[in-house]
Amino acid sequence: MNAEAEGFARFVETRERALQRSAWLLTGDWGLAEDLVQTALTRSWPRWELIRRRDDPEIYVRRVLLNTWRTWSRRRWRGERASAAIPDGAAPGDVATEVAVRVAVRGALESLTARQRAVLVLRIFDDMSEAQVAQVLDCAVGTVKSTLSQALAKLREDPRLAELMTFDAR
Amino acid sequence: MQDMEAQLRMLMNIAAGDPPRRVDPDSVRRAARRRSAVHLAAAAAIMILGGAGVALASQSSGPAAPVTGGQPAGPPRYYIVQSFSSAGLSQPTVRATATGAVTSAVRCPWRRPGVAVTAIAPARNMSFFIACQRTAKTGGKPVIKGTRIFRFWISRSGRPAHYSAVRGGELPGLQVIELAAARDGSKIAVATVPAVTQSPAPADIVVISTATGAHAVWHPAPKVAGKVWYGAHSISLTGNGGELVFLAQPRCVRGTNAPPCKVNGGEEVRALSPADRGGQITSSRLLLKQARIMRTSLDYINAALISPDGSTLTLAVVGSGQGLGSGFVRIEQVPASTGTRPRIVYQMNTGNGFLYRMFGSDASGRFFLLDAGPSSGSVNGWIDHGQLVRLKPAAGENLRAESW
């Protein structure tokens, strides 16, 4: 295996889990998330040598992933969604609790616009800087800041998250 | 990071969990090579043919194997099996295909007493849909209260994870007697009867969109004396849920003074389009008549599965053969477009009579499970290039359901 292929393999092995988790937060569906990541990596591999010379290949791959997601969202089905009925009798550490959190978070994220969801996932979940998020989304840093503020304001009012979070008094 | 952002990050971390499958670099490079190979082959073909405008055909002369689009070479790593027990339905277990070792159990995330899995259907990426039925005691007698449909994935270590309730999957007052899923998970189909039904009854077919929860319902036509009537069983969906295929056994409805009615051709494989949003099962279109490919008097089609790409019907056929000791169980494939010229995938000679319990496939439509055998006992296994490879538990009589 040459150096380029080794580098790509190393990137995939170390980053595919994180990419899939981000993709799940965007799509709400594991099958779709895996397809999204597979597609983004498949499109990136032929340009890997060029990408490698950039500062951060992760930015490029995430940009391809986000653009692909936006294209698919306009065209495709959105996958199955959990019903509003949460299984009875949730208990700490139980699978029902995990399901309840997953249902609440997924539902809350669905209430955001595509851009708000993307900024939230990249900035909060993936812990990218505002500058990095702006590079991925190809927008200004100011846009990232204002979009994040709008997303957080919306989530602060979301009843699905209200039971799971505590907010500071304002 | 602000407090709210920290809490949000924690919740997103819990919600995202662990991906059920890994993306591996070799599969990415292969996929990238295929993309460029398709483009190069198309360009080369045009050059070779000198622009004669002849379309290249990729089909063989017989029924083609279902399109898989980059699937793994071997069978699924795990399968789910549910046995009968003295207490009724046992909890399904997940077993490793290679060793038969039990890796975990499947349970219904429905926290009420009297809940059990009654049907299992596979979708892509080792995800499964399950029908969970709740039974309660009323006046000392068990009464079925209803059914809910859930979805989950099997992780690389063989453990079910990421359970979620399927939108539209709450079916109060109904029993689910069959469950099928589109490979992409966009639609599921259930054959349902009212919960109070005790004896075999004609089922409604309900196709549920998992994205919206919308139901499309097909009812059996009313039985009219002197007319042909049929119900539906052995349901399956194409990969994107665009078509639902089922088996039908047309019968004449008899009645005093009713005009004579004639049924010939034996069993039929028929198709419905979920885009029609429901109606009567008799609005289905005919794909295959049994008489075109086998004898109708002594042989039976027990199951019919449509491949994900809709090109191929795979049939589980049983029969007594031409003479004593000629019983058989046979798996055949037929093009869905013609319904003729079957290709035998597997045949088991069962001697005098046969036992047949179950037939199914994985979501790719390439790997088949079969539980069948001679009258003395059935064998549980999967079909590998014309051979039945045994799965545990080997004795098939006690199996109620199996899926992978």
Contact B169 A124 (CB under 8 A): no
- Residue % of chain B over a pLDDT of 90: 42
For residue A124, give the chain B residue with the closest CA. Answer: B9
Within 8 A of A96 by CB-CB distance, chain B residues are 109, 111
Report whether B250 contacts B217 (CB < 8 A).
no
User: Which residue of chain B has the CA closest to A90?
Assistant: B111
CA distance A16 to B356: 44
Helix (H, G, I), strand (E, B) or coil at B357: strand
Which one of B15, B22, B111 has the shortest CB-CB distance to A102? B15
Cα A60 from Cα A135, distance rounded (Å): 9
**Structure-token pair, residue B315:** 């049939």
Residues 6+ apart with CB under 8 A from A63: A135, A136, A137, A138
At B363 the pLDDT is: 92
What is the pLDDT at residue B338?
Answer: 87
Tell me: pLDDT of A92 over 90: no
User: Which residues of A, range 84-103, sit inside 8 Å of B by Cβ?
Assistant: 85-90, 95-96, 98-99, 101-103
Does the N-terminal peptide bond of residue B222 adopt cis geometry, omega within 30 degrees of 0?
no
Per-residue pLDDT at B71: 52
Return residues 103-122 of A near B (CB < 8 Å): 103-106, 120-121
Among B11-15, B35-39, B221-225, the least confident range = B35-39
Q: Do A79 and B210 touch (CB under 8 A)?
A: yes
Whether residue A118 is predicted with pLDDT greater than 70 in this model: the reply is yes
**Residue B281 to residues A149, B23, B193, B245, Cα–Cα distance (Å):** 53, 42, 14, 11
pLDDT band at B197 (very low <50, low <70, confident <90, very high): low
User: B327 near B353, Cβ under 8 Å?
Assistant: yes
Of the candidates B250, B246, B244, the one whose C-alpha atom is nearest the C-alpha of residue B234 is B246
Burial class (CB in 10 A: 0-12, 13-18, 19+), A111: middle
Q: How far apart are CA A68 and CA A62, in angstroms?
A: 10
Q: What is the predicted pLDDT for the residue at B286? A: 93
Six-digit token pair at B352?
């005098």
Mean pLDDT (whole number) for B39-56: 47
Q: Could you tell me how many helices (H) and strands (E) chain A has, helices first? A: 9, 0
Q: Which of A57-61, A163-167, B310-314 has the lowest mean pLDDT?
A: A163-167
* Nearest-CB residue to B186 (from A77, A98, A156): A77
Q: Does A47 touch chain B (CB under 8 A)?
A: no
| B8-12, B32-36, B48-52, B349-353: the lowest-pLDDT one | B48-52
**Rounded to an integer, what distance in angstroms lies between the CA atom of residue B231 and that of residue B221?**
8
Taking CA atoms, what residue in B is nearest to A126? B9
Q: What is the pLDDT of residue B38?
A: 58
Contact A42 B162 (CB under 8 A): no
For residue B210, what pLDDT is reported? 92
* B106, closest residue in chain A (CA to CA): A95
Q: Which of B12, B19, B28 sits opposite A17 (nearest CB)?
A: B19
Q: Inspect the interface and report whether the beta carbons of A102 and B14 lie closer than 8 Å.
A: yes
> By CA distance, what is A155's nearest residue in B?
B8
Determine the pLDDT at residue B40.
57
- Answer yes or no: do A83 and B166 touch at CB < 8 A: yes
Is the distance from CB of B308 to CB of B364 less than 8 angstroms?
yes
B203's enclosing H/E stretch is none
CB distance A20–B11 less than 8 Å?
A: no
How many angstroms separate the CA atoms of A114 and A103, rounded? 18
Q: Which of A37, A43, A85 sits opposite B170 (nearest CB)?
A: A85
Q: SS3 of B27, please?
A: helix
pLDDT at B57: 32
Nearest CA in chain A to B166: A82
**Confidence check: pLDDT of A28 > 70:** yes
Q: What is the pTM of this model?
A: 0.61
User: Which structure tokens are listed for B292?
Assistant: 């075109």
Question: What pLDDT, on the 0 to 100 scale, is given for residue A83?
Answer: 37
Instruction: Identify all chain B residues contacting A25, using CB atoms and an 8 Å cutoff.
Output: 12, 15-16
Q: Is the minimum CB–CB distance between A8 and chain B shorter than 8 Å?
A: yes
Residue B73: the pLDDT is 64
A-chain CB neighbours of B16 within 8 Å are: 21-22, 24-25, 125
Could you tell me the two tokens for B32?
């990238």
Sign of the alpha-carbon torsion through A46, A51, A53, A58: negative
B-chain residues near A20 (CB < 8 A): 19, 23
User: How far is it, in rounded angstroms, from Cα A132 to Cα A65?
Assistant: 15
Q: pLDDT, tens digit, for every residue of B103-149? A: 999 999 998 889 999 999 999 989 999 999 999 988 888 889 999 99
DSSP B259-291: PP----S--EEEEE-GGG-EEEGGG-EEEEEGG
| Closest-CA residue of chain A to B181 | A80
The verdict on a CB contact (< 8 Å) between B164 and A103 is yes
Q: What is the ipTM of this complex?
A: 0.85
Is pLDDT of B70 > 90?
Answer: no
pLDDT at B95 over 90: yes
CB contact under 8 A, B110 and A98: no
User: Could you say which of A8, A13, A30 has the minimum Cβ distance to residue B19?
Assistant: A30
Chains A and B form CB pairs within 8 A to the count of 170
Look at residues B72, B67, B114, B109 and name the one whose alpha carbon lies nearest to residue B89: B114
User: Do B314 and B362 form a contact (C-beta atoms < 8 A)?
Assistant: no
Band of pLDDT at residue B66, cut at 50, 70 and 90: very low
